Amino acid sequence: MKKKQNLTVFLLLGIFCTTAAQNLPQKKVKPYDTWIKSTDNYSIVKGILHDVQDSSIRISHQYKDDFATYHFRDIDQVKIRRKNNVMKGVLIGGGIGLITPFIANPGSGRDSDLTPLVNAVLSVPFTIFGAAVGAGLGSLKITIPISGNRNNFEAYKSKLNYFAVNKNEDFAINNSPELQNIQGTVKSKKIKTAIGYEHESYIGIVNGPSFPIGDLNHDVMINNRNLKAKTGFSSKVINIGYRLKGKRGISFAYFQNQYNAQSGDPEEWWSLNGILIGPMYSYNIGEKFIFDIKPRIGLAGLAVNTDIDIQHDGSGLVFNPALGFRYNFHRRWCIISETGYFFSKQKIIEFDTKNFQSLNLGIGIAYRYK
């Protein structure tokens, strides 16, 4: 089993948290690139969102006094993105891709001397892929529909003010019932949902200990060797939550569980890998905490591994009811903690059917979007 995986992954999470923490609000001004599409559907203007006024917004190009003012009647929609966000996405995504092969395959067994070279070769395409994904995520923009409508402008005024270089205290975030019940066009009626669930979809990674409690937690004799599974490690390498509407959403995960064998031989270990999908129900607790209920089902493969090859393997359905908490410490980042129960009937020819069960705990980090 990959002994050093726990330490390596949690060091990685520490790096992620440090990197993300650098984006927390500082005293210096945080500029946002702004695109304004006019109601005539032809004119698109780009600049820096400077400030929000009673019935208009002002943008500038280089923090100078050459402001351009746009009345809400002339604005169809406003798109906003943090300045240099694409480059940050490239660097973060490329960095994750660079180290992924070394985390997934730290090296053990007879060919461990070749592992660094193999990982170095694999890191090239992983880095390119990670940079491309990071650029895609970094290019996402926040779209604010105005449609030349005063109700829309009033309801989104506090949000626009949040992204402005020069903030107006009179337009601070206001989620009062009076604001959310503003009546107007069809688009303005959708504002309540848009404000309440900004960036509540996420993609991230969760890692932690896994405690086997099923058949593998009892003696499993193979070639007179006891391969009973010991407390192991679980990683949801890809953990996605996509908010659909209101409290409802979809959860998807690709997971890898690993367990050392009771035999004491570090080259003998169990693995359970698979995919999960299911509904997600999310409940806001205050402004920054979210509680998730995720009943998931999927397919998984169980295997007994040695330093040479896989001795025995099986496959079957897996059920994973899970509970999770998210803490939104940044507009685009959140900390995830998750606990869940795994159950899977794995059909292995040599042992008939084994009931695999485990309790998993995990913590990780995720990028918020949508």
Q: Whole-angstrom Cα distance, residue 48 to residue 184? A: 29
**Helix residue ranges, H only, the chain:** 5-21, 85-104, 115-138, 150-163, 177-180, 191-196
Q: Class of the 201-369 domain? A: mainly beta
Helices (H), 197-277: none
CA distance 118 to 80: 42
Dihedral (Cα; 78, 79, 82, 85), 10-degree rounding: -170
Domain ranges within the chain, ordered by starting residue? 32-196, 201-369
User: Distance (Å, rounded) from C-alpha 207 to C-alpha 337?
Assistant: 9
* Each residue's pLDDT expressed in tens, for the chain with a length of 370 residues: 544 454 444 444 454 444 444 444 445 667 888 888 888 876 778 888 888 888 989 888 765 567 888 899 989 999 998 888 889 888 988 888 888 777 666 554 444 455 677 778 878 888 888 888 888 888 888 889 998 899 999 989 888 888 888 887 776 655 444 444 443 333 433 443 334 446 789 999 899 999 998 777 777 666 666 778 888 889 898 899 998 888 999 999 999 898 888 776 767 788 888 999 999 999 999 888 999 999 999 998 888 776 655 566 778 899 999 999 999 988 788 999 999 999 988 776 666 667 888 999 999 999 888 7
Q: How many CA atoms lie within 13 A of 161 on its CB side?
A: 18
